[in-house]
Structures are given as C-alpha cells and as structure tokens.
Structure 1
Amino acid sequence: MGDDTQNDSELAEETELGSEMAGHSAEMSSILGDAYRGELDRETTWRSRLDQTTTWGVTVVAAILTFAFSSADNPHYIILVGILAVSLFLLIEARRYRDYDVYRSRVRLFQQNLLADALDPSEGLEHEDWRSKLSQDYRRPTLKVSTWEATANRLRRIYLPLLIVLLVAWLFRITAFAPNESLLTTASIAVVPGPLVIAVIALYYIAMIAIVLWPRSREAKGEFREGDPQEWKESN
C-alpha cells in the first residue's frame, strides 16, 4: 500500500513537472530545440544506414558483372545470383527505410510547424495539432509507411535501375557469347530448361515494375515537391 502511494506521488510530481515546463516558453523552446537536434541526429544515422546498403548493392553488382564478362567460360547464371543478392539488399533497405521514416516524419513536424512558422508566421501552422501528434508519437512510436510503400520507394530510387542493368547484362551475356545458339538454349541452367528460366525472370521483373507503378496513397512525409521548380515559384 505504501509503495502504491509513493508511486502515485512520484507520477504526480513528474506530471506536474511536465506541465510546469510546458507553461514556460523559454524552457519549452529549449526542450523543443534539444528534441529537434536529437531527432535530426537519429534521422542522419538511419540515412547513413540506407546509404551503406546501397553501397553494398552497387559493389556486388560491379563485382558480379566484372566476373561474368571476364571470361566466356564463366557461367551466365552468376548474373542471376547477382539479381538475388540485389533483391536481398532491397528487402534490407526497405526495412531500414521504414525505421528512417519514423525519425524523418518527426523532423518534418518540427520543420513545418515550428521552424517554418517562426521564420514566416503569416503562412500559419501546417498542422494545428502538431504538438499533440508529436506527443502521441513519443508515447506510442509507430511505423508510418507500409512494407510495400518502402519497397516501392527504394525500387524507384535505387534498385530498379540496378536490376535493369543486371537484366541487360544477362541478356547480352547469353547472346553475345554464344551467337550460334538460340536464346532459349543458352538461357538454360543445368537441367533447368531455358524457357523456364526466361519465364521466371520475366515474371520477377513484371512483379518489380508492378510494385513501383501500383497506385497507392503516400504515407511518407517530407517528399520534395514534384514538378519544375520555376513553375512552383511562379505559382507562389
């Protein structure tokens, strides 16, 4: 009974402390400034992790293409192994992007509603309840974007071009190095017939393009405004 009373007393003091700080603009400004710097640091850290995964993917692609074209005796399916490796990096980066977007969304709340309003109050707040949104996110942190959206984002920005490079390299490898044989013959892998290999690869790339083009409402915050910058300036 005594422990419960003590816990209730400590909780009341902590609640009162938060209320007192919220009532003093100088203290609140200091707290928000520290919070913004902390969230910006976390965003930068996760941004670097995304860059690391991209670097791994580009390095693997370069190494595999160098090996595949260094000798006619090297198997063509090493490029298909590269496609699998890039796909693995895509899944890793999509997961990291979801974590990165948590901190980016908080930074954007600060920028849109605190910094932008301080610089030009005439525009008003982007979100009237931005402090409440940020408070709820601190109390119950949640991922903001789905796995599908994160995958589509990383495909569109980085990985679809890498996959297309690998596809073109593979097609060139199985045709240029065996000009007297048909595509269906040179595409075979051991006992797996060429038509089946080509069909699987075609379905895979169709699925990747579908993920990129599939219409969906964007949940990620902080995307740059699309269109010509000059047109945007003229409209404002």
Structure 2
Amino acid sequence: MPDGSRDFDPESPDEREIAGEAARDRDEFLSLMGHSYRGELGRTTSWRTRIDRTTNWAVVLTATLLTWAFSGSERPHYILLLGVVMMTVFLGIEVRRYRVYDIWRSRVRILEENVFANALDPEGVEQSNWRELLSHDLRNPTIKVSVVEATSRRLRRVYFALISVLIGSWLVRLTVFATTPTGLVGTATVGEVPGVVLIAGVGVYYATVVVLTLWPNRRQAKGELQTRTDSEEWK
C-alpha cells in the first residue's frame, strides 16, 4: 500500500507533529498562513457584526426616546434618564464584545503586517518574532485590551455622543416643561427622590463618563484605523 494512503494513526509521534513539517516547507507554510488568515478574518467579521448590532440598538433607542419624550408636555422627564441607564447597559455589553473581538483582530493584523505587507513591499517584517507571538497567542488566547481602554474607545466612537444627547435633552426637558415654582430643581423631583439629589447624581455620572472618554492611557488595542502615522509594538 502506498505511503500516502496508509491509515492515519493519531497516537503516532510522527503524526502528532505533522503540522511542524509545515514550518520547514515554504510552500506549505504560506498555504497554511492563507487559511489561517481567512479563518481569523471570518471570526473578526463575526464579532464586528455583533458590536455593530449593539450600536444600532443604542441609536434606535435614543431616537425613539427623544421622539416620545418631546411629543407632549405630560411625558415624564425621567424616561430620558432610563435611556441613559440603557445606554450604560449597552456600553457594558459592547465593551465585553470589543475585548473578545480584539483577540481575533490582533491576529489578523499581525499576519497583515508581517506576511502580506512584506510580500507586497519586502522591506522587512514589523516584528521579527511574529511567528512566536502568533504561536503563543494561538496556544494561550488572552484578552489584550483592559476594561478601561475598551470603555474609553467605545465612548469615543459612539456612546459619549449618545449619552450627551440624552442628558442634554433631559435638561432641556426640565427647563422647557418646568411645572413647579422651584424651577428646574423642583421639576427634576421623581417620587421621593429630591430633584437636587437626582441632578447631582446625573452630574457625577456624566463627569465619570467624560473622564473615561478622555482617559490618557497607552494604546493596547491593535488594528483600528488611526490618524497618526507611527505604529506601536504589539503586545
């Protein structure tokens, strides 16, 4: 029986190490990298779609709440604050999805930078140990972006604008439809919660959002489009 048609023995040491032969054969290695790239790109696209879906929910909810809240003077103002709460929930979901998405995106970028870019213009690889980096990440997948950085990036991209619109609309709603002699503070009262407490709470919340949006941390996420031209080493 020819060697190519012999039975496959998964317990054989040679068979267990068969993938290692691709590392010593240029054609097999490049073919393997192409398949790997398509697989990682498919994962990246799938998680990018999940992030976009959450963003769509947030935008639709914001538009719906604004339309409903200003459709009549009898509409309760706190519905806009409930919208802020929902934006925070969506933000939390999107931060988690973004951190997982970055796992696959970072692999795509390391292949693009060190294989395809160098094939098009062979000036040298970006990371001389890119094979070691990719091998380690495949063996031990890890989340590379911190919660703070992911939150800051999603706030900058989408949620800071949506939250600002909702809070600004809430303040306008209190001002335009003020129904008590005490003005904005009195109108902000909800049940047993004094208006001054509610306004102070919203102020603290928004200040926290501003700080997170402008958080000056070193970039760890890799692969997003940037306006600056210098690149940073992938970790």
The TM-score normalised by the length of structure 1 is: 0.89
Shift of 1:180: 6.7
Matching residue of 1:135 = 135
Matching residue of 1:119 = 120
Alignment of structure 1 residues 46-85 onto 2, 5 Å? 46-85=47-86
Segments of structure 2 that go 5 or more residues without pairing to the other structure are 1-9, 231-235
Matching residue of 1:176 = 176
CA contact (8 A) 2:40 2:108 kept: yes
Distance verdict in 2 for CA 1:144–1:183, change over 3 Å: same
Shift of 1:65: 1.1
The TM-score normalised by the length of structure 2 is: 0.89
Report which of the two has the higher share of helix: 1
Segments of structure 1 that go 5 or more residues without pairing to the other structure are 1-8
Matching residue of 1:35 = 36
- How many residues align? The count is 221
| Structure 2 residue identity aligned to 1:137 | D
Separation (CA, whole Å) in 2 of partners of 1:11 and 1:195: 74
2:55 counterpart SS class: helix
Percent identical: 47
| Structure 2 residue identity aligned to 1:132 | E
Instruction: Say whether 1:110 aligns with 2:91.
Output: no
| Structure 1 residue identity aligned to 2:136 | Q
1:218 counterpart SS class: coil
Alignment of structure 1 residues 168-207 onto 2, 5 Å? 168-178=168-178, 181=181, 182-207=183-208
Matching residue of 1:159 = 159
Shift of 1:14: 3.7
For each residue in 1:204-228, what CA deviation from the matched residue of structure 2 results, as whole angstroms up to 9, or x when unmatched? 000011112222111100132324x
Shift of 1:86: 0.6
| Structure 2 residue identity aligned to 1:42 | R
For each residue in 1:142-198, what CA deviation from the matched residue of structure 2 results, as whole angstroms up to 9, or x when unmatched? 001011111111001000000000011101101111277411111111111111000
CA contact (8 A) 2:55 2:158 kept: yes
Separation (CA, whole Å) in 1 of partners of 2:13 and 2:149: 42
Separation (CA, whole Å) in 2 of partners of 1:108 and 1:101: 10
1:121 counterpart SS class: coil
